Structure 1
Amino acid sequence: MSLFNNLFGKSKVEPMPDVFWNYLESEQQLEEIKKTSFEKPVTIFKHSTRCSISRMSWNQFQKHYNIPNDKMELYYLDLLEHRSLSNAIEEQFQVLHQSPQILVIKDGVVVFHTSHESIDANDLEEYVSA
C-alpha cells in the first residue's frame, strides 16, 4: 500500500512547513479572495490528487515557491473533493477550467493563469509589490 500512496498520493495534500496554504472549500471564500486581492495578490492552485501531471506540478510549485506569506496569499483547491468550486471560479473569473491550474487574482480580477507543465512558481514574483 505504501507504493500505491507514493505513486498516487493521499487525498489531502500535506503543505510544506514554509508555505502556508488556505484550503478552498466553499463559494463564500471566493468573495474573501476577491477582497484580499486588493491588499495583496492571491493565488489559487487547482489540483487533482489522482493525476500524475497535477502531482508533478504541485511538487515543483511547492519546491520553488519562495514568496513570503505577507506578500501573497495561497489557496489550494482539491478538485476531487470540491469540483463544483472550480466551476464557480470559471464563472466568476472567466477562466476556463484546467487541471492542474494556477490563477493569480489581483484587484479582484485574474491577472495571470496557466496550467499543466507551464506552472512555475517563479512566474508569480512579478505580481508581488515590493
Structure 2
Amino acid sequence: MEALLSQFTLLSDHALQDKNFDPSTIEDLMKLFEIESYKAWAAAELEQQKEVEEAEVSMQEAEDYLDSVMESAMDEFRRFEEELESMSKAEMESLVQTAESARKMGNLMEKAASVASKKYIEAALNSATASMKSAWKGISSGKVHPS
C-alpha cells in the first residue's frame, strides 16, 4: 500500500508538471488501490475470523474447566453430605442407646423403690404387729403398766 501511495505521489507530481499527461495512468493506479484495499479487507476479515475461532476455543476451554471445577465441587459436597449424614446417624443412635439405658435405669430404680417401700411397709406392719402382740400379752398376763 505504501508503494502505491508513493507511485500516486509521483504520478500526481508528473501530472502537474506535464500537460500531456494521460489520466488513464492514474485510473489504472486507482484500480490497483481498489484491489489492494480488497486484499487488505479480506486479510483483516480472515484475521478477525481466526481471532473469533480462537476466542470460541478459549471459551470452550473455560467452560470445560468450569464444568470440571463444578463437578469436583459437587462431588466434594456429596462426600461431605454423606459423611455428615453418617455422623448424624451415629450420634442419633448413640442418643437413642443412652435414652434406652436411662429408661431401663429408671424402670430398675422404680422397681427398687417399689420393693424398698413394700419392705418398709412390711417392716412397719411387722413392728406394729409385734407391738400389738406384746401389748396383748401384757394385757393377757395382767401386767398393765400405769401411764
**TM exceeds 0.5?**
no
What's the TM-score once normalised by structure 1's chain length?
0.16
TM-score when normalising by structure 2: 0.15
Q: Which has the higher strand share?
A: 1
